[in-house]
Structure 1
Amino acid sequence: MSEPDPLKILGALERHRVRFVLIGAAAARIAGAPVVTEDIDITPATDKANLERLVAALKELRARLRSPSDRGGVPFPLDAHMLRTADLWTLTTSAGELDICFTPSGTRGYRDLRREALRTRVGPGISVSVASLRDIIRSKEAAGRDKDLAQLPLLRRTLEQIRERKT
């Protein structure tokens, strides 16, 4: 839709008071891993009020279903009930790509990830809960996808370096 602007996505989620944990490569990057990504992956809380706030943020971002045949994405009925019909949503927005995963591989979802997540300032006036590197590794191991497995050695090295700095 337009140039990727991850902070615009995170800012919209924060303005609408969506409770979520940032996961995936963006979270790994914030945790210190030298990975590159332009998309945002989140795991939101699943209560109805939070999903309604998420819907409001997605509408502000003009979210559409990502489609390989249509760069602008495909419109879909966006409401809290619809979001609960799938565990994974791959969206394109006015600020770039956003993936919503309610239960990432190897986790039990928001409450599980929230336990070790750290509230981190990622931009002016924008602070988000970021999944721990341990949880990111756990999820990528469980997913078992080639792209996830390829990142594991780097993520493990980063985690080890963080641990060494703390001692």
Structure 2
Amino acid sequence: MTGTLEQPASSAIYVQPANEDDVELDLPRLLATLDRHGVTYVLIGGLAAVYHGSPFPTEDADITPDTDPVNLGRLASALRELKARIRVDGMPEGLEFACDVEALAAAQTWNLVTDAGDIDIAFRPSGTRGYADLRRDAIAAEIYDVTVEIASLADVIRSKQAANRPKDLRVLPTLREILARNS
């Protein structure tokens, strides 16, 4: 359904975990935690595509946060509450790391496992200049009682095209068709 993420009867959205050890994505809890900590970000990737009508499931939440140090502090606090750890193949519990402003700022991308599911943090997603670039055309939407900034479908397409990964290339024709239909 274009324009909304459907809210299932339970509080968790099932998003095809890669194996039985993976945690299903509890999107309401994840969004509420980011909101409670005042984190400024744009929802990107598969969930943004689903918001715009993509039929393709996703395994995680992807965000691009504002890189202001105060915001990174809020993000670090939210991630600590979610017990974030670095996602590592063969280690379902993940690898501990110093979840603070300095650590977050030291990398461009973080792939994390939390007790609310997987979250990927990309400060500068492929084909974009980061938060300010994505925020310009983002759409504010109410999801699970939280106002979320969601990347425009054109920006999702631009980023997936630039990433040039097989999983992104497979969905591009459908995303372009949705964009053309809604333009």
TM bucket normalised to smaller: over 0.9
Mind listing any 5+ residue stretches in structure 1 that lack a counterpart?
none
Determine if the alignment matches structure 1 residue 135 to structure 2 residue 155. yes
- The amino acid across from 2:43 in the alignment is L
Residues 3 and 148 (structure 1), Cα distance of their counterparts in 2 relative to 1, 3 Å cut: closer
Which residues in structure 2 correspond to 1:1-167 (within 5 Å)?
2-123=23-144, 125-163=145-183
Q: Please report the RMSD computed on the Cα atoms of aligned residues, expressed in angstroms.
A: 1.0
In 1, the alpha carbon distance for the partners of 2:132 and 2:86 equals 26
* Residue 51 (structure 1) shift: 0.2
Compare 2-11 and 13-22 and name the one that shifted more.
2-11
Please give the per-residue CA displacement for 1:9-40, whole angstroms capped at 9, x wherever unaligned. Answer: 11111111100000000001011222211310
Return the TM-score normalized by structure 1: 0.94
Question: How many residue pairs align between the two structures?
Answer: 162
Structure 1 residue ranges, 4+ long, deviating more than 6 angstroms after superposition: none
Q: Secondary structure at the match of 2:137?
A: coil
Deviation at 1:162, TM superposition (A): 1.1
Q: Which structure 2 segments of 5+ residues have no match?
A: 1-21
In the alignment, the residues of structure 2 paired with residue 33 and residue 4 of structure 1 have an alpha-carbon distance, to the nearest angstrom, of: 18
More helix by share: 1
d(CA) in 2 for partners of 1:8 and 1:73? Answer: 19
Q: Which amino acid aligns with 1:37?
A: T
Whole-Å Cα distance in 1 between the matches of residues 152 and 124 of structure 2?
16
Partners of 2:96 and 2:182 lie apart in 1 by 42
Conserved? CA contact 2:23–2:118, under 8 Å? no
Query: Greater relative contact order (Cα 8 A, min sep 6): structure 1 or 2?
Result: 1
C-alpha separation in 2, matches of 1:35 and 1:113? 22
- Rounded to whole Å, the distance in 1 between the matches of 2:23 and 2:118 is 10
